[in-house]
């Protein structure tokens, strides 16, 4: 069992690090948390060698999470699974655009699933200023240090998220998982818009503390 | 230098994928021009990425991986960058997220003249509820005084204008709603090119403007 589940069980747990035994089994089957370095190697193997085994390993790790992510959006299991499939196929096609000095693999995949979700469930276009295309293509001569900084920052955020108060987590989940704007969250929770704004700001400010210099 | 940024909640809605397409277009274009906001959006996305990894996994059906692997056979890994297809002026003035909404170069867009003050080229959004346009404002012109029935988001792409005490230059983002009445004045020395996103028609408030209001198409 990975440390996340143990920590969650001890503290009562946050909704998505559920210590429910059934989910533990799924987690174990889907593999415990993998380091960003390992995930980067898998994406790179796809980009460089069209490595199908690397794709299969990424799929086993991310597809169930992406399906879970789709379910949180409130769509049925079939649609959630299709979202996971489509996202993973895009991961394959776009692997060469992934730049490990700018984002972790999970952040990159979030931007892909976010766009797929809009495309599939909202059926509108989405103007992307995204990590994969906004700037120059990944360069060969980039300092490896930058990748390390991004990886460490990703790990720091993952740990810091677990320390957020419940009401901040709840709102971040509504934004990221349920695709709700500040305004929609305020209406749904019958909270003043200002309260929603400040909770999200507080949560993000707290997470940013965990980021090293230059990424703060 | 960019001095007017989108409010933080709009950046956050954008990063979460919760904005409408029109507003997202204005934010994405600003973000492409503004390193500060790009960093903010990246940070918000990093949090979302960490949370995605923490989502309770839901088991995929049997054969899901085999199905995906089958489909890979028909799919190549794309090279990192597509070839440009715009002229230097267009590519230099219009950031990538907005360029994808253009039917051609700036010089060949279907510009419609609205009186002598400005020319407008409407951009194709998926829905009809929100309108996004490029506007070319004549140097030194005084825009009609107006207020808003909904939200108005303006992003300066070239040139600039003054609105009351504030100056807007390329990259600057201006958000107005029903609470604001304003009358932008375009800088003297050059034409101003803006992206304007409206979710309801503006309402002219000058004497002549009031006569024109019923004819304002959206």
Span A160-177, average pLDDT: 91
With CA atoms as reference, the chain A residue closest to B67 would be: A85
Note the Cα A186 to chain centre separation in Å.
Answer: 23
Q: If we measure between CA atoms, which residue out of A38, A159, A143, A45 comes closest to residue A101?
A: A143
CA distance B148 to A183: 19
Task: Judge whether B25 is closer than 8 Å to chain A, CB to CB.
Answer: yes
Distance CA B206, CA B179 (A): 17
Please tell me the predicted confidence (pLDDT) of residue B181. Answer: 82
* Contact B164/A at CB under 8 A: no
Give start and end residues of each alpha helix (H) in chain A. Answer: 3-11, 21-30, 36-49, 52-72, 77-94, 105-117, 144-161, 166-176, 182-189, 193-208
Q: Which region among A128-132, B9-13, B63-67 has the lowest average model confidence (pLDDT)? A: A128-132
Q: For the beta carbon of residue B210, count every other beta carbon within 10 angstroms.
A: 11
Backbone φ and ψ for A117, nearest 5 degrees, come out as -65, -45
Between A18-32, A140-154, B22-36, B171-185, the lowest mean confidence (pLDDT) is in A18-32
pLDDT at position B87: 92
CB A161 within 8 A of CB A150: no
Mean of per-residue pLDDT scores for chain B: 88
pLDDT tens digits for range B155-200? 999 999 999 899 999 999 999 888 888 888 999 999 999 999 998 7
pLDDT at A216 over 50: no
Residues B123-167 pLDDT 10s: 999 888 899 999 999 999 888 888 888 899 999 999 999 998 999
Q: For residue B65, list chain A residues with Cβ-Cβ distance below 8 A.
A: 56, 59-60, 63
Contact between B211 and B163 (Cβ < 8 Å): no
Q: Please answer yes or no on whether B53 and A4 come within 8 Å at the CB atom.
A: no
Question: Nearest-CA distance from B140 to chain A in Å?
Answer: 32
pTM of the model: 0.84
Contact residues on chain A for B27, CB-CB shorter than 8 A: 129
**Residue A149 pLDDT exceeds 70:** yes
Residues 6+ apart with CB under 8 A from B91: B84, B99
Across the interface, whether the CB atoms of B55 and A117 are under 8 A apart is answered no
Nearest CB among B32, B96, B126 relative to A124 is that of: B126
CA distance A10 to chain B (A): 17
């Amino acid at each position: 069992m990975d440390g996340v589940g143990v920590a969650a069980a001890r503290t009562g747990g946050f909704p998505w690090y559920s210590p429910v035994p059934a989910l533990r089994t799924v987690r174990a089957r889907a593999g415990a948390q993998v380091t960003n370095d390992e995930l980067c190697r898998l994406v790179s193997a796809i980009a460089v060698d069209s490595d199908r085994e690397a794709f299969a390993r990424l799929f086993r790790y991310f597809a169930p999470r992406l399906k879970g992510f789709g379910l949180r959006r409130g769509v049925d299991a079939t649609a959630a699974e299709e979202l996971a499939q489509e996202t993973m196929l895009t991961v394959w096609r776009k692997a060469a655009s992934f730049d490990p000095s700018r984002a972790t693999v999970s952040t990159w995949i979030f931007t892909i699933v976010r766009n797929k979700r809009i495309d599939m469930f909202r059926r509108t276009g989405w103007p992307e200023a995204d990590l994969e295309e906004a700037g120059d293509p990944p360069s060969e001569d980039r300092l490896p240090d930058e990748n390390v900084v991004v990886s460490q920052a990703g790990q720091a955020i993952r740990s810091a998220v677990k320390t957020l108060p419940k009401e901040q987590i709840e709102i971040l989940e509504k934004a990221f998982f349920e695709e709700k704007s500040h305004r929609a969250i305020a209406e749904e929770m019958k909270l003043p818009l200002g309260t929603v704004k400040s909770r999200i700001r507080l949560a993000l400010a707290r997470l940013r503390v965990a980021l090293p210099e230059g990424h703060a | 230098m960019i001095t007017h940024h989108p409010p933080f909640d709009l950046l956050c809605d954008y990063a979460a994928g919760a904005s409408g397409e029109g507003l997202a277009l204005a934010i994405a274009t600003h973000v492409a021009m503004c390193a500060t906001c790009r960093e903010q959006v990246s940070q918000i996305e990093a949090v979302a990425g960490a949370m995605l990894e923490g989502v309770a996994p839901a088991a995929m059906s049997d054969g899901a991986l085999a199905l995906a692997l089958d489909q890979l056979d028909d799919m190549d890994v794309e090279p990192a960058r597509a070839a440009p297809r715009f002229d230097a002026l267009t590519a230099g003035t219009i950031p990538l997220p907005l360029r994808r909404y253009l039917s051609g170069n700036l010089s060949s867009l279907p510009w419609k003249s609205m009186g002598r003050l400005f020319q407008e080229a409407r951009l194709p959004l998926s829905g009809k509820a929100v309108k996004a346009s490029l506007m070319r404002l004549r140097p030194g012109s005084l825009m009609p005084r107006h207020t808003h029935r909904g939200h108005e988001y303006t992003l300066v792409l070239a040139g600039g204008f003054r609105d009351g005490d504030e100056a807007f230059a390329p990259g600057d983002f201006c958000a107005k709603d029903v609470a604001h009445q304003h009358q932008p004045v375009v800088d003297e020395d050059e034409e101003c090119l803006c992206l304007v996103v409206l979710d309801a028609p503006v309402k002219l408030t000058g004497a002549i403007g009031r006569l024109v209001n019923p004819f304002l198409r959206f």
